[in-house]
Structure formats: structure tokens, C-alpha cells
Amino acid sequence: MQITKDQVEWAVILRLRDMLRASPQAEHDVTQAFALFSSIVCWIAQRMRTKGSSPNDLAARRFYERMKTEGFGQFGHGEPQNTQSVADAIVLIRNAVAHADGSSVESLCRTPAGSQPRLVGYAVQSTKDNKIVATLALTPDMMIRFRMWIADEFIADMTRDDTQQPRPIWAEEVNRGVKEARP
């Protein structure tokens, strides 16, 4: 069994999701969660705004349209008009991680009394005209829960059969059937 060209659209996301789910508590678990989280976001953001016409392109665009209607919650300065869709949040995070538009990612640290600072997450800041317009605090728990959900939603949309029924079990079967080479 191999991962076909069509399957790579969701097989990569499936494997990143599984790595995120299985990531053990480790010395760098906050950084590992962010690395897996941002990889999923970048992949999905790139695919969901495709202009192609293949079946995978159409499925990715359907996912994008659906995520435009899903509410992500409030970020920014807590003002109700700053409520964003999941699609907006994906683009904001992708821009901060991998786009040279002035957006940024900063570490979030806490210093308990008498202790060294501890990394507790990351802050994603979106800018417009050199002003911060939105900030999203990403804790490991939030990154894991949101990315697991978004990965599952993406996989479901990308694995629909001819009757448009999601078949994520196909993804699980491919994932189990294809082993990765060891260095």
C-alpha cells in the first residue's frame, strides 16, 4: 500500500494530527505542540484557498466555505465586532507563522514566585498598517484541541465519497497501511 497523490492532501494532516495527539509530556512539549499545530495550519491554509479544479481542490474549497461560517470566538481586544470565523483564524495564524506581512509570534512566559520563567504558550499577533489588530493566545491545550478538531474536519471533507458522505476511515486505513522509513 502507498499514499497516492490524491491521498497526500489529507494523509499529511492525519499524521500531524496523530503526532499531536500522541505527543508525550516532554521537556519541550509547548514548543512541540506549536510546531505540529503551525504545520497543520500552514498546510490547511495553503490548500483551502486553492484556485484549482481537481476533486481535491473542490473539496478543499468546500472546507474553506464551511469554515467561514464556523465561529472561532473572540480575539483581539475582546470587542464583539472582532469575532472571527475559523477560516479567518487559520489565515491569521498562518500569516503570523509563515508570511512576511508584519504579523508575529511571541512567546508567552509566566514566572511563578521564586521560580524561573516557564514557557506556557505563544501569542499570535496580526497587524494592519503597522498596528496590532488581533492577538490570539495559544496554550498547548488550546492548540491541541483546536488542531485536532480542524484536522478531523479537513480530513472528513477531503475523504468524502461519490455521494458526499465523509469517509475518514479511509484515512485511518491508509495511515495504518503506509509506514515511514527510519533514518
Under a CB-based contact definition with an 8 Å cutoff, are residues 106 and 125 in contact?
yes
Which residues of the chain register pLDDT less than 50? 74-80
The answer to whether position 100 is within a domain reads yes
The per-residue pLDDT for 82 is 54
pLDDT in tens, 53-84: 988 899 999 999 999 998 876 444 444 455 67
The answer to whether position 105 is within a domain reads yes
The per-residue pLDDT for 80 is 47
The per-residue pLDDT for 143 is 83
- Could you give the 3-state DSSP secondary structure of residue 9? helix
The per-residue pLDDT for 67 is 94
The answer to whether position 2 is within a domain reads no
| Distance from C-alpha of 84 to C-alpha of 91, rounded to nearest angstrom | 11
The answer to whether position 146 is within a domain reads yes
The per-residue pLDDT for 64 is 96
What's the whole-number average pLDDT of the chain?
A: 79
The per-residue pLDDT for 159 is 82
Range of the domain at 11: 7-180
Under a CB-based contact definition with an 8 Å cutoff, are residues 14 and 60 in contact?
no
The per-residue pLDDT for 47 is 92
CA dihedral for 148, 52, 62, 81, sign (positive or negative): positive
Which class for 100: exposed (0-12), middle (13-18), buried (19 or more C-beta within 10 A)?
exposed
The answer to whether position 170 is within a domain reads yes
Residues 6 or more apart whose Cβ sits within 8 Å of residue 3: 11, 174, 178
Report pTM: 0.78
In the chain, how many domains are there? Answer: 1
Under a CB-based contact definition with an 8 Å cutoff, are residues 153 and 12 in contact?
no
The per-residue pLDDT for 171 is 65
The answer to whether position 1 is within a domain reads no
The answer to whether position 102 is within a domain reads yes
Under a CB-based contact definition with an 8 Å cutoff, are residues 103 and 95 in contact?
yes
The per-residue pLDDT for 28 is 59
The per-residue pLDDT for 97 is 85
